[in-house]
Each structure stands twice: as structure tokens, then as C-alpha cells.
Structure 1
């Protein structure tokens, strides 16, 4: 029997763990958890038996295929029960361009919403139940045009909003389990690192405390309002990212989400972002964030994340 997991790894203290190998990395997972048993390919009948209240109808129309992502896995990866908060801010356009590799910039660029200003999205995810167990994740991404298409700034953003088909370049992606970190780094070449991310449920808000991995102190706090007037009309949204694979080749990946409870606000006080003195706070400050232009509160969604492909 493996020792009890460290809470800093996002695995409950009381859970038994075992080490598995992913591309040469020893990774602690919950013993008897979904990933331990099925390696990203659990039968939907098992999910239904373990979570009988979940509606799995959408997943029944999606087909998994075996893929080599630097390790054997299945695509898409299923996320059965999740929530998120997202804030979109303006940021310094030249700084955003400087953070993107030249090869990526040749095919896609940050959207310019007005002279000298681009957009970034800051999202806090909670994956309560998914193929790779459960974890929290924070995504900081530049909003871009679709590779190979014209970039008309606000018009392109409006088009993406209407089609619910968004593109971006991921800058930072901390997670709170080693399983999520290794899968993301090896399989998707994404900028993930392991650090505690604590979600707090309040009467009128959802808060995330992001700990600095070096100091062990809370560095970034995101506090998003629980918006009223939620829509329960299912809505499909696709989020795609462009990056370089491990061989330096252009690649892209995407996730399609089925949002079953969602609301948005343009009020700037819908999200409170508190920055500290750690590395992530310093990085965010260098982006020279301006006003928040949109906030999204999505307390219920499902998602399918597809393995990356050459662009």
C-alpha cells in the first residue's frame, strides 16, 4: 500500500494512492480511482453506476480512439461534471506578441480590440469527476484568431462569440495533481506545473486561492460572483489552442464543452483578482491588464478534450 497522499497534490489525505508510470514519470493516483482502473477509457456504464444522477447522453454520441500522446491513451478525454469562472481582460498587445513563439505568430496573432490592447482570458476550472479523477486548474491564455484566417480584431472576436468557437495561446496552466501535470506536459506540451489550488464556496461567490509553488504562500486569489438568472439551455462551446509540440512543430488541440448552467456579466465587479508577490502574480502584472470586459459563471458543464494534432 502506498503512503497517504500529500494534500498539496490535490488528492484527499484519506485516499490511498499507488504509483503508475506515464512516459517514464512516476505518478501518484488514487488507488482504485477511474484513472487507476481504466487509463482514460472507462465504460459509460461504470460512470452511470458511480454517479447515477449524471446525464451522460452527450457522451454516448462521442467515440474514443486509442492514441499515442507520448504515452498510450484515449481521445477525447471525458470530463463528466465540472464548473468554471472566467474573466476576460485587456492587456498590452506588444507584450502578448512577445510571449508567443515566432512560428506560432506566423499563423495566428493576438486579437487587437483597440490600438495597443489585446485580450487575455483567466479561467479557474474545477473538474469534480473526469477520466483522470478530479483536480483544479487555472488557465491564462491569449485570445487569438483562428490560424490561417484574417484577424479583424473586434469583428473576429464577435464572430468567435457568435459561433462559440474560440482560439487562443496558453501562457500558464497550473494544476493541483501530478497526474494532470504529467498528462498535460507530455501529451499536450502545455505549460503546466504542480501547486495547491484551493476552491472556496461562499454564499454569493466562488473563490480560488492559487499557491506559489516556491514559497508555499497564497499568491493569486480569484473571486467570482455567483450570477443570478442562469440559463439551463445546453450550449456547446469549443476552445482551441495553438502551440508547438515537443519537436517544435505547429500543433493544435481543442475541447468541446456542453454548458448546462451558465451566465455572463459585463460588470467589472463580477470578478475580484488579488495579486501577491509570487511568480504568477509578477507574470500577470507584466501583461499590464486593463479593465475586465466580460465575466462568465458556469457552475455546470461537461467536456471532451481531444489529443493534439499537427496544424
Structure 2
């Protein structure tokens, strides 16, 4: 299944590569830790095993001397209770991503959002009957959670407490680099990422294989169907030329329901170090199979690709969720 393209509108969302070259411990060695009553295998002697999301930057500098840590030096971590004790924000030091934004059936998107969430945010309608979804493939090559891959499928929404003006809201988010969404699906390829995401961030994560292949022109993500063990979704993303090396800060936020049934929000601030975008339909190709994720995506009636983003280098800080009432009270 190949999805075409039209005029660009806005940039949206926000097994790992082999263990980083600077890692001292083979990825095959693991140890079991407890997170909120879950027995979770982690890399033995890895960052999470040693520091539980709070490694000193001096350790990162020693293990990854090629990584610029200047941005993180201005960010303070705080101990938080996320259903387990952790630190916020969670740091992602060396990462890459590719994103494609497609039109989708807006009534189906509304149907998939909980009524409680819809009271505060709704899908942005770009033209009659059509909303937007963002499909993003992430490779977190070195972070507080060691390394892993993740696939995010999100509905593009208005910001809580603000009007939903469709394309006007979308343009406003694009200009401010402050994007909002509701996360539909979020498969990951490590148990650590799954448990932390489900318990700590109230996100729809599950564990499955996510393999990455690269050549001179493309980076390809193969997403495995967890039920059959076969490749279900393939995302072939072009390596765009004319990369901008200008630092760009982007905020990606989500609204959802927490473990107590209350509205919550979370966000990540990303420092994009190398990035490019395109509205050319040939820049990315999404191939859907017959597995669970493909079937779900087909139900969205995906249409034209509005924008593609190639971000081979970025850093990020993911903040612990907070009650949505706190955000709305600030505005």
C-alpha cells in the first residue's frame, strides 16, 4: 500500500540499533529488576541498571564522548512518583526518527478517543471528513533506558483549553513548534520501555519486534506482528538531502487518562540537530500486511501523505505526566 502526497502543512510528532559502540556490556547479558511489581529484564550494567533514570552527565560524557551534552546541562531532573520511583525528565542523548503524516477518516478518529478525552481535545479537521494521524518510527540509540525502538501512531488534536480551528490550529502549532496529539498505538521492542510507558506514562505500549535496516538511500522499519511473529508493517523512509544543521526545539504533547481514571498530559521537548522535510509522496512508503497493527491502521482509511520528516539526529527530554487540570489552570 503506497500513500500519495499533497502540499506540506506542518511537522508532527514527536530492536534498537545494535548496542552502541561505546557500551561496555554486551546487550545479551541481562538482569531482572522490579518496576511497580513487574519483573523486568534490563541490560546488566547498563545505564538503567546502574542509575534508574538518573545517570550523572559525567558518566554519559565518558561513555559517549561524541555526544554533545550542552543542552542537558541546562535541564534539572527531579524525583517523581510515576507508579514507581523515577526521575523526570528522562533523557535521550542520541536518537533518530522518521515521521509521515497522513489524512484519515475523522469520524473513526473520534470513535477511537475516550469520551472523557474528547471533552477537552478533538481531532483537527483539515477538510470535511478528514483528520490527521502521525506515524513515527524512533530509534533511541543511547538514553536513560539504554536503547530501544518505538513506533508511534497518534491522532493530531488541538491543545487542551484552546479552540479547535482545524487548519488554523494546525498552522499555529507548526509556527510555535508545539504539537498535540492522542496516542493510539505505541509498540516498543524492550520490556523496560513497555513497562515504564504503561505504568508511568499511561501509554498503549506492547512488546514486539521492531527491526531497522539501512542503505545509502533509505532507512526501513520492519514491525513484527506479536501474535504471528511475522513482519506486519514496513515503513520505508528516504534519507533526504539538504539537511538543516540548525538546532530546533520542538515540543510534542499528548492527552490521555491516568491510572486513576483522571485526565492527564505528558510532553517531550526535542532538540533537533539534523533535520529535513518533504511533501513528495515518493519520500516515504508505508506497506501494510494482514496483522493486528495493519488491520487497525486500515480501519483509519488513511489517505494522502501531507508531510514527511527525516530527523537523523535529535536529543530529547521526556517529562512525567501531570494532571490536565494543572495545565488548563495555567492558561
Normalised-by-shorter TM-score class? over 0.9
1:4-43 equivalence runs, <5 A = 15-43=28-56
Q: How many residues align?
A: 304
Distance 1:14 1:296 in 2: 30
Report deviation, 1:9. Answer: 9.8
CA RMSD, 1 decimal: 1.2
- TM-score with structure 1 length normalisation? 0.96
The question of whether the paired residues in 1 share the 8 Å contact of 2:16 and 2:148 is answered with no
1:92 aligns with 2:115: no
Gap change, CA 1:246 and 1:11, over 3 Å in 2: farther
1:232 aligns with 2:256: no
Identify the match of residue 144 of structure 1 among 157, 161, 176: 157
1:128-139 equivalence runs, <5 A = 128-139=141-152
Report deviation, 1:202. Answer: 1.3
Aligned with 1:174: secondary structure? Answer: strand
Quote the residue 2:10 is aligned against. Answer: none
Identify the match of residue 205 of structure 1 among 218, 232, 248: 218
CA deviations 1:190-234 (Å, max 9, x no partner) are 000000000111110100000000000000000100000000000
The question of whether the paired residues in 1 share the 8 Å contact of 2:16 and 2:147 is answered with no
CA deviations 1:250-283 (Å, max 9, x no partner) are 0000000000000000001111100001000000
Identify the match of residue 155 of structure 1 among 168, 190, 194: 168
In the alignment, structure 2 segments of 5+ residues that lack a partner are: 1-14, 20-25, 325-331
1:44 aligns with 2:72: no
Quote the residue 1:106 is aligned against. Answer: 119
Quote the residue 2:290 is aligned against. Answer: 277
Structure 1 range deviating more: 12-21 or 150-159: 12-21
The question of whether the paired residues in 1 share the 8 Å contact of 2:16 and 2:211 is answered with no
Distance 1:243 1:53 in 2: 36
Quote the residue 2:206 is aligned against. Answer: 193
Quote the residue 2:328 is aligned against. Answer: none
- TM-score with structure 2 length normalisation? 0.90
CA deviations 1:164-184 (Å, max 9, x no partner) are 000000000000000000000
The question of whether the paired residues in 1 share the 8 Å contact of 2:272 and 2:314 is answered with yes
1:212-223 equivalence runs, <5 A = 212-223=225-236
Identify the match of residue 65 of structure 1 among 75, 78, 81: 78
Quote the residue 2:256 is aligned against. Answer: 243
Gap change, CA 1:10 and 1:190, over 3 Å in 2: farther
Report deviation, 1:14. Answer: 5.5
Aligned with 1:157: secondary structure? Answer: helix
Aligned with 2:265: secondary structure? Answer: strand
In the alignment, structure 1 segments of 5+ residues that lack a partner are: 1-7
The question of whether the paired residues in 2 share the 8 Å contact of 1:10 and 1:176 is answered with no
Report deviation, 1:15. Answer: 2.3
